[in-house]
Structure 1
Amino acid sequence: MSELTYTAFLGPQRLATGPLTETLRAVKTALDALEGPRTQPLIVFNDETGRPADFDWRGTLDEVLARHAPAAKPGPGRPRLGVVSREVSLLPRHWDWLESHPSGASAALRRLIDEARKADPEGERRRMASLAADRFLTVMGGDLPGAEDASRALYAGDRAAFEAHVAGWPEDLRLHALYLAAPALGDAP
């Protein structure tokens, strides 16, 4: 997935997939067109991570778009560089090793992570796709027949078994699960 996309579901029905602004526009338009109260849950997923994303749908379309426009969030770290401060727990010997590097602990950690990611880019791509697909499966398919077996097949890289376990699912859920799982199963998305 080269460009970050989001996918919105209203119950088992896919409303939209696309870049954030396009997805927000499609969802808000669909919500405004609903007659009566919404009876199905609305969940929007970040397709790269498989995590649900939370949006405030109140107000006009322009207000929703303005509220959720991509922007750097201020806070600890170096926001202009995209650095976000988070906590890491290490043993004293790990801190000693990190502190012995002249560029500092943060730079040493970043370098180690980048080296690990570059060492096996295909494996990293499959791992990230497995995580994203599994998160989606847990949220949207957790109560459906074959969900646990589909997750096992996903991590085993068994495409045939994965497809068999999601075959009876509502079409939009099944197709999106296959889309997210494709890189983990050795296929292009």
Structure 2
Amino acid sequence: MPMESCTVFAGDTWIATGSAEAVREAIRALDMHDDIGTLLVFDDVTGRQIDLDMRPDEPARPRGRPRMGVVSGEVTLLPRHWEWLRAQPGGASAALRRLVDAARQQGVSGTAARDAAYHFLSAMAGNRAGYEEAIRALYAHDAARFTELTETLPVDVRDHARDLAAAWFASEPPVAAA
């Protein structure tokens, strides 16, 4: 599944955010003669560093049903799951497509946003002063403390980390275990 959005940094400087193709174009437009530092690309959903294929796009023969763009895959379910899926309007494939589309429309969950901010900060700020305290505030669902502790980060790194964490802080605080 193609990623929906990614962000590229040159050192601590934000370069671009967008689709993989938009980010590729932004990277290609950079003047590589300048000392721009190491380029790092992050998946905006997971916060994880990714490798972006910079080769020119080649026309590829589509897989699956060319007219519909359908690609076959394999799903392993228990018999009761298959039974339920077969009973749904349109059959198993249509039901699975509806479930996936509904889940995608819900957006990034709070915990996924928290984890994305963690992964991004680990890569970009893991060796900086205050990193561990900021991560503790993130996992404690303490937005004010997280904001305070990320204030000393380079502005682009700080702002992206806060953007990634926003859905986490907007969600209900986790219930403490008894």
TM norm structure 1: 0.62
Deviations 1:91-123 (A, max 9, x none): xxxxxxxxxxxxxxxxxxxxxx9xx99xxx69x
- Superposition pairs for residues 110-149 of structure 1, below 5 Å? 125-149=109-133
Out of 52, 57, 72, the residue aligned to residue 55 of structure 1 is: 52
Q: Which structure 2 segments of 5+ residues have no match?
A: 63-99, 172-178
User: Are residues 1:9 and 2:9 paired?
Assistant: yes
Q: Which structure 1 segments of 5+ residues have no match?
A: 58-63, 75-112
Alignment check: 8 A CA contact 1:9 1:16 kept: yes
Q: Which residue of 2 aligns with 1:182?
A: 166
What's the offset of the Cα at 1:21? 1.1
Tell me the SS of whatever aligns to 2:153.
coil
Alignment check: 8 A CA contact 1:153 1:161 kept: yes
Computed over aligned residues only, the root mean square deviation of the Cα atoms, in angstroms, reads 3.9
The one-letter code of the counterpart of 1:27 is I
- Higher helix residue share: 1
Q: Which residue of 1 aligns with 2:20?
A: 20
Alignment check: 8 A CA contact 2:20 2:52 kept: no
The one-letter code of the counterpart of 1:125 is S
Q: Which residue of 2 aligns with 1:87?
A: none
Q: Distance in 2 between matches of 1:150 and 1:5?
A: 25
User: Are residues 1:171 and 2:168 paired?
Assistant: no
Distance change in 2, residues 1:166/1:68 (3 Å): farther
Deviations 1:39-60 (A, max 9, x none): x221000101111111354xxx
Tell me the SS of whatever aligns to 1:168.
coil
Q: Distance in 2 between matches of 1:163 and 1:68?
A: 40
Q: Distance in 1 between matches of 2:165 and 2:138?
A: 7
Q: Distance in 2 between matches of 1:21 and 1:15?
A: 14
Q: Distance in 2 between matches of 1:128 and 1:143?
A: 23
Alignment check: 8 A CA contact 1:55 1:68 kept: no
% identical aligned pairs? 36
- Superposition pairs for residues 30-179 of structure 1, below 5 Å? 30-32=30-32, 34=34, 40-57=37-54, 64=55, 67=56, 125-179=109-163
Tell me the SS of whatever aligns to 2:9.
strand
What's the offset of the Cα at 1:33? 5.3
